[in-house]
Structure 1
Amino acid sequence: MKKMLKHIPLVIIFTVIWIILNEGYKTMQILTGIGVSIITIIFTNRFLLLEGYKETYKVSPIVLIKYFFVLFVQIYKSGISSINKIIRGEGKVGISEHKTVIDDELRICMLANAITSTPGTVTLDKKGQELTILSLGRMDDSVLKIFERILKETKE
């Protein structure tokens, strides 16, 4: 029980996500969210993590805020750009390779998810630090560099 007390912030975060996904906040949904959160944490600790959460996921809240802000802006910029390309008939698809400077698995996956979240780009494959990207038109590496710079900060 004492071990579970240190996971209260995670239980709260997971419960809030549960409530958002269920689009309601009735007592039963909240209790179910708490139960599912506790079961998830116990399962993860027992079978998936080699170390604790803090050791495994060293991402500061400030860096996460920067990451999500840049991601939000890039989603809209890429969306507008993709719409313009489609309207003009410049919708040629290209595949490119990108070797990232990030060496941590979690951060590479965050970069791949950022690429996939922006309209007009999809991460097709990840092998080590090499990402294969499908993009509408020519891939703009400057956006990747911005995400890489932010995600490198998470290392510290």
Structure 2
Amino acid sequence: MNRTLRVLLTALAFASPALGATDVAMADGKIRFAVPDAWVPIMQSQDRDSESQVFQVPGSTQADATLARVSITLQPVPNLNGFQQFAGTLRSRASGLKDYAPRKASSPTENAYTAKEGPVKQDYYERYFYTGGYAIQLRCVRPADDAKFAAAFDKGCAEVASRIPS
């Protein structure tokens, strides 16, 4: 009985990371939020100045041409001016994308636009947050001409935005 219990506890210990796969922790656990279960983590990077996580969002009919994805990037900043510089730099990079065309954003902390990625026109939605000394960008990218997929993708992106502490 004792051996069986040890085996069971060991199995649970190895399985537990999969149970919390939708929970995301960044900045040494200071920034936490959840993402939809279906999102697949495809990249994580961290250096002294910034940290990023990227998730593929499956379901687009144009998946062979491009990846629908969501990225969360954060950077420590000393104050609100640092946040504004972070957001300004990323907005400036966006405007340099191929066939960049701005769309109407619903608040000053949002950036919406279309651009081409290879042959595919993409819809981009960015939202910026400032919390706990961190500037955060949530960037959602999906094919522009996949209306059926767009509703589910946009809902997931909005859910994540509502879960990022601000």
TM-score band, normalised by shorter chain: under 0.3
Q: Which has the higher strand share?
A: 2
TM-score, scaled to structure 1: 0.26
Q: Which has the higher helix share?
A: 1
